[in-house]
Structure formats: structure tokens, C-alpha cells
Structure 1
């Protein structure tokens, strides 16, 4: 089992998200906690008002809503009674046993999972401290529940299908708005809250790994001028398909205004996160020969994706690194000059026949949608130099370096101070010997 806890400012949005899933017949409210009436006997108003009245007891708490998802292995198939027992046990163990909450079973993913809607305000108006609750209480509860209920364990599971976010398979999407919206929303739920991005370009570098694109339109479009934003699904070649969906239609409202606030909050990144990517690149380039394509492959094994940016002439001018382990995104120039597109290009060798290199994740500035999924041909200019000329230059530089390192740099007349005789102190004019 995998447990994910999120807090939010808008209780209505979380509640409506789950109830809309029920209306779409892809979810069901299977139970409740600390309500006077069973869930199946309550109206929507009764369900929501119970939560709203208790949050009103402390208006100083801004992030007052709690949205929890309990995810199970695809091979598991539990009854509603067992799922409610798991949900109740989990809420008790993390300190929410006395809180009002609603439990929804969702059927819109490849694995069984529950959503739990609750609040942070107690009945006496005090706030529940959720600092490190995921790492401490939730992690302990997860392990105990896995043992007690005989669940597939998340930790050490060979193929953890639950936590791995996959790209949207466009061939399986029926391009009505509801199907597209559901597919995009699954990606946005994971990416927007967990990754650290500080610009729309950086966000798209992440989203494009899952075939989603946040589009502002061209600068002359009405969408751009009104600061609007739509989300699109991309096919395997990075082209937009299906119906674009307005950001305001998603339950967490990932509008441009919302994202700009996230950009500011994400500007502070740990130095260790930067160094992880830099060290991975430096380690890869320690090899005697490595091409740009090989560098991409090596970094992917470290959980780092590279997104290249090209201008209209097909010349490489930018590079972005997406680290899926630390959930951080960096432009090459931000890491340092030696990690920029130009520097990486120079640090890598051209292919043996000096043919155009095959590079995946290329973003072209003359297109609205960036191409980032399948490898596509991209010419990387090396100022007309072939590998042979590069090798000659490399050998020449190596020879010069060895000569500099082995040459005798000291003056032949040099004598260490310790071997010199004592110098006679020169007497200044007008100074007596008895002074």
C-alpha cells in the first residue's frame, strides 16, 4: 500500500472533485467517519456542511483541508468492507480517528485506490500539526496495516506499479473532454505538488515526459493576452491531439496565476539537489569518449531526463535537466557555464561519421508544442568539425598538456634558501656599530 497526503486551501474543490467522480460513475462514496448518518443516506449538502462547520471553528488556519489517497497493488481486489476497515485503521493511526471524513473508492486508474476527504481542525477548534506526518505517522501506519491486512508491501516491491507515473497512452484515449481531462488530471495531480519548477518552460519539461503540455498559445492569441492557459495531450511524436482543456476546469485550478505562485515558492532549491545532477554529468563525461546520445542514456539510468531547446534553424541553444529522484528541474546555465547547452555540446564528441545525431527530448522554438517523447533527428552544430579533426585537436591538446606538466619550470641558477650562506647585513649610512 502507498499512502499520499496532501493539504489544501479549498475544501470545496477537494469535495467536488470526488463527488464529480461519483457523477461520472468512476467512483463511489463507500463510507464516512464521525458523521451522525451513514454516507449513503446523506445529501451532498449534509456531507459538505459537516466539514465546513468544523473548519469554521478556526479561521486562522488557511490550509485546512486534507486529501489522502491509499493506493493498492493492481493484483489486489478487496471488498468495500475491508477497504473501510483499512481506511478507519489508517485514520486512527495517523491521529485523525476523531475527525469527520468521507471515503471514496475510485475506479479510474489501473490500480485500486481510495480517496479520503477530511479537515485539520479539531472539534475544540485546535489545529492538527501535520509536520512530517507522511514520514512519521503515515509510514508507520502503512507498514502495520500491510502486515495486519495481508496487503502487498510497497517497500521493496519489485514492480511498484502504484507509485510509478506513466506517460499517457494516446491510443487508449477517447477524445471526448471527460476522457482527456481524466488522463491529464492524473498527471497534474502528481507533478504539480511534488516537482520543484520555477517557470512554465521547466514545468513543461516535466509534463512532456508524460505527454502533457501546458499551452499559453501564441503571443498574438487571445488566450495569451488574457493570461489564459490550456492543457493538451501529446502523441508519441510530440504533436497535440484531442481537445485542449482550460486550466480552470480542473479541480485544483492549475491556472497561470496558480502556477506563478508555485514558481516563486520553488525558487529555493537545496544545493545538494543541484550537485546531484552536476555530479552525474561530470561522472558520465569522465569517459574517454561519449556522444550526446550516450550522455542522455547514462543520465536516464540515474533518473535524469534531458530536454533540449532548438531555435527555428535547428540550432541547439538550451538544455533542461529533470531529476525524477529529487523532483527538481534545472536549466543548464543555472547549474553553471560548464553545464549549459553550448558547453555540454563541446564536452561531448560528435558521432564517428559526423552525421546528424539522434537526440530525444528536443524542444523547438518555432513550434507551439515541444517534441519530447520519441527520439527525433536534430542537427547539433560542431562548427564543421568531424570526429577526426576533433581527435587531432584532442591529441594536440593532450601533448601540450603533458609538455607543460613535465617541463622543468625552475630557474637553473635557483638555489634553495636553506643552502645559501648567511647574507651579511648591509649597514646603513650613518649607523654606528655599537647601536
Structure 2
């Protein structure tokens, strides 16, 4: 069993999250413990009661507790068993006498339940939440595993209890509730991955068929720094009605994202060099005859390469997504040698020597039209010298002491006596 505790300043947010799940048919209310009012037919009574209890201590800001108990997919628990385990858990962490709502959810591959409560007592006392996970939850969780014969958290495959972006079901317009599906993707990406621009964020969201848009140039959305999220089809075309960022619970608006950009840029910097080495080694020692082969080699290292293509079908940008470190880098951010132009030169282009000039000309190979790409990027000539070395070769080569430097230059200058 895995227990997760989230504390916040709003009791309504976790209540409405679970209540909406019930209304959509993805959850059911298992129990309403220590409630003085009827909540089975009038669920709003529950949040009113919790709010009144929270109001007893206006000086306490963090007064909402949202707990999820997650069980192994191999365990088959009845509603009664799950409810009893939840009651014993709440008793063990010191919330046995608190009013709380217990919901069972059916929207995941493993059985789990959610608990909504407050840490404010009827006598105006406050239950301490400091290190509640380590000091209270963990000992109780282990004791319940032994008592009920549950599969221990250490033995469970953590992938079943977390969202894996590449294995998760993509959002397909018309198949599921659009807002709910997009919200699930945003919750799995925005707080987890380290990106520093909207383009980098969209590279990850694109793995789920979701995109964030600022609106067209001069539009009211762009002028007001608004943001909408849309569903994409398999061809990358937008489908359905866009949904405003402000309508989602976590408010993934553009100003909130921009605050993350700066922090993410600092947090991801320590992973930059290791990613560059992986890409360089792949280019140097793997037979990358086309962009598709290069992508496959990176994929085997849990790195996703996302291409940005213009309206003419030419590749103008590359984005690297490291699934292990949860970092996102545009190629130009890593360095000029990792940009789209440089990668196309090293992968897509075969070298054909021109006997008249002694230079080699780049010709297209594999997927994509490299000549078209080179024409659109006039900053570099399509001809390269035969003895040109890659950046990695230049860095790794041994420099001999016996070079052609004049001996006079090697001598140290004598200091002038004062």
C-alpha cells in the first residue's frame, strides 16, 4: 500500500475534485465518517460542515488534508475491506475522530481511494502536519500491510502507481471527456518536467496529443496574455473547442508558467552536460543514417527527439526530452552543434567529394529534404572541407607537446627586478 498526503489551504478544492469524479461516474462515496449531517443525498452538506470546522481557527492557513491510499493491481479489495483499511489508517495517524469523506476511484489501473478531511478539531485544536508522512503515515502503513496481508509498497512496481507519459493513453478527441483528459495530462507534465519556454512545454504535451496556444497575432487572447489548451489528432491538427487555462483547477495560465520557466532553467542546468554527452556519443558511434534511426537510438536511452517543421515541410528546430531527468532542451540551448541545422548536416547528408574543388558537397539521405533545409538556412554553405572534424573529435584529441610552436614563445618571461 502506498499512502500520499497533500495539505493545502482550501477544503473545497479536494472536495469538488472527488465530487466531480462521482458525478462523472469515475468514483463513489464509500463513507462519511463523523459527519453530523446527511451527506449521502446532499453532498454539499459535507463541505459546509468542514468549512465551519475550519472557520474555528482562522489563524491556521494550512487546514485541508487530501489523502490517497493506493493498492497493488494484484489485490482485489471489496468496498467494505477498503473502507475498513481507510478507517484504521485514519485512526493510526490521529484523524480517527475528525470528520472525513472516503471515496473509491475507478479511473486508474490500480485500486485506490481518496480521503478529504481537515486538521482542525471541534475543540479548536490543531493536529500537527509537520512530517506527518514520515512520523505517522509510514509506521501505520507498514502495520496495516502486515495486519491485512497487503502487498508491501517496497515490493510493488512503482510504474503502476505513477503516470508514465509515453505509456499513458493519449487524448483522442471524442473518446473521453476533453477537459478531464487534458487536465490529467497537465497534472502529469507541468509540475514534473523542467522546461523554460512554451515551445519546450508543447514538445512534451505533444506526446499526449495536447497543445498550449497563445492565440493568433493581434488576437484578444494574445493581447491579454491568455492561454488555451487544445486536443490534437494523429496528424497534429487541432480538434474541438479550446479550453481556457484558467478553467483548470491548478491554473496553468501563461503568467504562472512563466514563473516556472526561470526556476526550471536553473534546475535543469545540472543535467545539460550529461545529455550532450549522450547525444554526441550516439552521433559518433551509432550508425545514424537518417533522422528516424537517430531518434530510435535516442529512444533506447529514454530520450525523445521532437522535430519542429514549418509549413513547407522543412525541419527548423529540434527538442530533446530526457525522460529520466524529466528535462527538456531545445537543440540551440544545448549548443550550436545540437541545433537542427548541425544535426541535419551530420545525419541526413552523405558526403560526395567534388574532384575539381577538393571539397565535399552535402546531399540528402533518409527522411526529409536536406537540400531544401539548407536553402532555407542560408547562414552556412553546403560545402565543407574534407579535413573538418566534429566538435567531439576536437575535444577528445591529444595535443602533443612537440608542436610547431617556436621555442622562443615557450620560454617564460623573466620578471623585471624592482
> Could you tell me the TM-score, scaled by structure 1's length?
0.71
Residues 1:108 and 1:293: Cα distance change in structure 2 (over 3 Å): same
Q: Look up the match of 1:293.
A: 292
Secondary structure of 1:244's counterpart equals strand
Confirm or deny: 8 A CA contact 1:14 1:251 kept in the other structure: no
The root-mean-square deviation of aligned C-alpha atoms, in Å, is: 4.4
Q: Take 1:347 and 1:82, find their aligned partners in 2: how far apart are those partners?
A: 60
Aligned to 2:319: 320
Instruction: Map residues 32-71 of structure 1 onto 2, 5 A cutoff.
Output: 32-36=32-36, 40=40, 43-56=42-55, 59=58, 62=61, 64-71=63-70
Change (3 A) 1:48 1:29: same
CA distance in 2, matches of 1:402, 1:46: 70
Distance 1:283 1:398 in 2: 9
Equivalent residue, structure 1, for 2:129: 128
Q: CA shift at 1:30, angstroms? A: 1.0
Could you say if the C-alpha distance between residues 278 and 22 of structure 1 is closer, same or farther in structure 2, counting changes exceeding 3 Å? same
- Counterparts in 2 of 1:396 and 1:257: CA distance versus 1, 3 Å: closer
**Structure 1 position 396, deviation (Å):** 12
Q: CA deviation at 1:269?
A: 0.2
What displacement does 1:210 show?
1.4
Relative distance call for 1:33 and 1:323 in structure 2 (3 A) is farther
TM-score w.r.t. length of structure 2: 0.73
Counterpart Cα distance in 2 of 1:24 and 1:398 = 55
Helix, strand or coil: the match of 1:231? strand
> Contact between 1:273 and 1:328, CA under 8 Å: does it hold in 2?
yes
Equivalent residues of 1:351, 1:357 under 8 A apart: no
Deviations for 1:270-293, whole angstroms, at most 9, x for unmatched residues? 543334423432342341643543
d(CA) in 1 for partners of 2:299 and 2:218? 37
Aligned counterpart, 1:20: 20
Gaps of 5+ in 1: 359-376, 418-435
Q: How many Å separate the matches in 1 of 2:301 and 2:332? A: 20
The residue that corresponds to 2:204 in the other structure is 206
Q: Distance in 2 between matches of 1:378 and 1:222?
A: 37
Partners of 2:311 and 2:223 lie apart in 1 by: 23
1:302 maps onto 2:301 in alignment: yes
With over 3 angstroms needed to count, the CA separation of the structure-2 counterparts of 1:127 and 1:194, relative to structure 1, is: farther
- For the residues of structure 2 that align with 1:243 and 1:154, how far apart are their CA atoms? 41
Task: Report if the CA contact (8 A) 1:57-1:125 is conserved.
Answer: no
Tell me which of the two structures has the higher relative contact order, counting C-alpha pairs closer than 8 angstroms and 6 or more residues apart.
1
Is 1:240 aligned with 2:238?
yes
What secondary structure, in the 3-state scheme, does the structure 1 residue paired with 2:80 have?
helix
Between the aligned partners of 2:351 and 2:146, the Cα distance in structure 1 is: 56
Q: Counterpart in 2 of 1:149? A: 148
Structure 2 equivalent of residue 29 of structure 1 = 29
Aligned equivalent of 2:333: 334
> Which of the residues 229, 250, 253 maps onto 1:231?
229
Q: Deviations over 1:52-91 (max 9, x none)?
A: 2444455566554333333344454321111123323444
2:408 paired with 1:409? no
Q: Distance in 2 between matches of 1:100 and 1:152?
A: 29
Match of 2:251 among 250, 253, 273: 253
The alpha carbon displacement at 1:410 in A equals 6.6
Cα distance between partner residues in 2 of 1:52 and 1:378: 63
Partner of 1:362: none
| Pairs aligned (count) | 389
Map of 1:37-116 to 2, 5 A cutoff? 40=40, 43-56=42-55, 59=58, 62=61, 64-92=63-91, 99-116=98-115
* Greater mean deviation of Cα atoms: 158-167 or 13-22: 158-167
Range with bigger deviation, 47-56 or 346-355:
346-355
- Cα shift at 1:265: 4.6
1:19 counterpart SS class = helix
Question: CA-to-partner distance for each residue in 1:310-369, whole Å, 9 max, x for gaps?
Answer: 3444444433222232333233333344444344444546469954544xxxxxxxxxxx
Q: Secondary structure at the match of 1:46?
A: helix
**For the structure 1 residues 160 and 141, does the alpha-carbon distance in structure 2 shift closer, same or farther, using more than 3 Å as the test?**
farther
